[in-house]
Chain A
Amino acid sequence: MAEAEYVLELRGITKIFPGVKALDDVYFKLKPGEIHALMGENGAGKSTFIKVITGVHAPEEGDMFLNGQKVSFKHPTDAQKAGIAAIYQHVTNYPDLSVTENIFMGHEKIQKGTRRIRWKEMHEEAGRLLKELGAGFSPKTLMGALSVAEQQIVEIAKALSVNAKIIIMDEPTAALTKNESEELYRITERLRDNGASIIFISHRFEDMYRLASKVTVFRDSKYIGTWDVDEISNPDLIVAMVGREISQLFPKTEAKIGEELLRLEGLGKTGYFADVSFSLRRGEILGLTGLVGAGRTEVCETLFGVSKHDKGTIVFKGQELKVKSPKEAMKVGIGYLPEDRQKQGLVLQWGIGRNITLPALKRFSNKGMLNNRKELDLAKQLAEKVGVKAKSVFTLASALSGGNQQKVVFAKLLTGDLDVLILDEPTKGVDVGAKSAIYEMISDLANAGYGIIMVSSEMPEIIGMCDRVAVMREGRITAILDREGLTQEAILAASMDDSAPATDGKKGAGA
């Protein structure tokens, strides 16, 4: 069917979720046998876009053409039949089933008459695919027992098994080390050479430069443009993605660095991270970055008492700190803005008022009895302080845009009197306007004397906001870089390099 100029074309796609416009009139064209990078920051609408292509979501408006024919998928199976396969960012698999089944789920090989599953063939086929992808594990292993990278490979094998004409990869490299990424590049190119067209989603430039011939950029769920990769310069691309010059986006003001608040000494947790050491001081913004799954979030959750560490010590304001629960952590003055605000940060079914006051019920209750008047006043005052756009404090959190939801979560932090704020991906899935507002808020907080740990995978904001940056890889700190001379290359090197961790004074022993 190659006579059509585009294997896949989408025109004016709009997808609306209750309260949010996830896709706003976006366009996309995919040529046969090309690798087309789709770029944009978190929350730009990339993931929704894929789900539209694969038939998980039906768009409210817009048309979709496959080899020139207009199609509309009622159901994921329709997309599969049409030869579209997706490798999702959050690996979607069946931990209790074998790798083979995960690969063939939805299109098992079955005997004609008896409709019996042909295990032997499936296992062999799966084994072959895995070998091609250079995987070392047996197809009969249970999925749950594999590492993220390994599961990533199974997902790709899945796409291969349906010999899909169009393969969509959603941030496949987000969790991979350099070698693993190289491996992935190789595989991807081979897929292309075998005639598949690939949509490669990422917000990492080297992915694009290494693989793609074309790049399309989304921002704030809008279509920004499509360029040949060698046509567009790096800064222009950043502007396209971020919406304005880095400099004007990050209002980083020099806060006066005060005394030390927090010090980690050889912190370790079996299976998650090992011998993590850094310190944080008043007024300082410490960036904590690295690949997804490098152990950043785990470290933060340990500081916040969500989970326990089994090695090393935390020193807080001079004496050793042992927090067993978030409640205690907040009592001593450590606050945490969780990574997933919908699951961890908010009660979506509640009004923003109740959400804001939840951590501070004590402040407006006496002997356990609530005082609604006081509560509402506090909620109102905080909601206005962080500039939430909402009609009243009774507006449901689920009805807010990502940015406003995030502001509500910030407001929750302001209810207690804290010294250390841990912000885990504070701008994830937030539109540019809200972003700059949040950055403003962060640097204000730093000036106000908070010590801030900012976890993020967004290079620009790390570089733009932080005084120092600690880079993690595979559960270890591989570098702590100072503000001057802070470059993407340096960070990426430290976070992806497979050579022995470039230890900054610490020994890479243990665990």
Chain B
Amino acid sequence: MEQRLIANKKELTLKGFFLQWEWLLVLLLIGVFVMNSNLSEYFLDSANLRDATMGFLDKAFIVLPMVFIILLGDIDISVASIVALSSVIMADLYNHGVPMELAVIICLAVGTICGWVNGLLIVKYKELSAVIVTLATMIIYRGIAYILLEDQASGKFPSWFKFLGWGYVGGIPFILIAFVFFAVVFWILLHKTTFGRMVYAMGNNATAARFSGIQVDKIKIIVFTLAGLMSAITALFLTSRMGSTRPNIAMGYELEVIAMVVLGGVSTAGGKGRMIGAILAVFLIGFLRYGLGLVNVSAQMLLIIMGVLLIVSVAIPQLKQRFAYARRK
């Protein structure tokens, strides 16, 4: 067999570079800004924009690990309940005299454990889909929160805790800084490490990944555990913003998070999509909501808009395939 040389440099075509979902999101983001600044004179105001991020970034922390989960072709609908449970436990402990610092650590621990349990159940019972497992744990985790806090709303945290959700560092909201930090960490984890590579492999072809010596179960558990941890982090910021917590906080967050990830171009079939897309989607949806809020669009109209946006954003890649296929025929 004659030796043939194989190039190992990627030939970059400009078109290839710009024809990416992410660029579309950037365009849309710009579109949102233009639209909003036309709709309301309050939109293009550095202070407002800055504070707006505080309003929608709390749930964004869950988006980061959810990217991994959906890349694996799974889904986790229990995250919102994990937020509630870890937040409630933290508040409850604090009000029973546990120092806040410790309570915070325990909050993180609780979230992590919840996520780990999800992961464990999912790999131990492969015949159950992640949807069903997390559906059950979703009800259970929130159930525990109710048992703990019953009808109380628990709060009155020390003043420094308020800083998480409301504080600024050099005029920049702390929550924004925190999000940027985590976003970078998760971006590196997904795109620059062996771990991220393995996740992609599993998402595309779990069997092949296994035969290539990847410990698929271990990775899956880690990913779901990460989701738990980040939910706990969301719990911290959300609780701090609310100044008090109760068992029914963060209702419906799981759906918003999934919507953001999908809009970010992460394929629900697994294996396709990038971190940057999801991050863009967070800001896209966030600023869209904020802008529409500024002109007092009714809540139900917002619901409809978000629903349509989600459908359209998943429909498009599918339609593209259909057209491409039709062409080949």
Contacts and interface: CB of A to CB of B under 8 A. Distances in A.
Interface of A: 18, 304, 306, 325-327, 329-330, 336, 338, 343-350, 353-354, 358-359, 361-362, 365, 368-370, 376-377, 379-380, 383-384, 387-394, 412, 437, 440
B10 interface: yes
A368 B194 contact: yes
Given A343-B205, A361-B194, A393 B271 contact: no
A390 B4 CA distance: 8
A347 B210 contact: no
A376 B8 contact: yes
B272 to A, nearest CB: 8
A369 B212 contact: no
A387 B4 contact: yes
A338 B193 contact: no
A393 B212 contact: no
B8 A440 contact: no
A365 B204 CA distance: 21
B194 A362 contact: yes
Contacts, number: 101
Interface of B: 1-11, 192-195, 197-198, 201, 204-205, 207-215, 271-272, 328
A471 to B, nearest CB: 26
Contacts of B211: 304, 306, 326, 336, 338, 344-345
A377 B271 CA distance: 24
B204 to A, nearest CB: 5
B7 A345 contact: no
Given A344-B207, A359-B213, A387-B1, A379 B8 contact: yes
A389 B211 CA distance: 24
A380 B2 CA distance: 15
A370 B193 contact: yes
A443 B97 CA distance: 73
A394 B207 CA distance: 22
Nearest to B210: A326
- Quick one: which of A343, A383, A392 has the most chain B CB within 10 A? A392
B198 A361 contact: yes
Contacts of A325: 213, 215
B258 to A, nearest CB: 23
Interface of B is mostly: loop
Given A347-B205, A359-B212, 7 more contacts: A306-B210, A325-B213, A346-B205, A347-B209, A348-B204, A358-B209, A384-B6
B6 A392 contact: yes
A347 B204 contact: yes
A445 to B, nearest CB: 15
A362 B195 CA distance: 11
A368 B195 contact: yes
Contact of B194 (A304, A370, A389): A370
A377 B6 CA distance: 10
B186 to A, nearest CB: 14
Given A368-B193, A440-B1, A394 B208 contact: no
A205 to B, nearest CB: 30
B6 A330 contact: no
B6 A388 contact: yes
Contact of A384 (B5, B9, B213, B215): B5
Contacts of B208: 343-347, 358
Contacts of A354: 197
Nearest to B1: A387
B269 to A, nearest CB: 10
Contacts of B204: 347-350
A362 B215 CA distance: 14
29 contacts: A306-B210, A306-B211, A326-B210, A326-B211, A326-B212, A327-B214, A338-B211, A343-B207, A343-B208, A344-B211, A345-B211, A346-B208, A347-B201, A347-B204, A347-B209, A348-B204, A348-B205, A361-B198, A368-B195, A369-B192, A369-B194, A379-B8, A383-B6, A384-B4, A387-B4, A392-B7, A392-B8, A393-B6, A412-B212
Q: Which of B198, B204, B213 has the most CB of A within 10 A?
A: B213
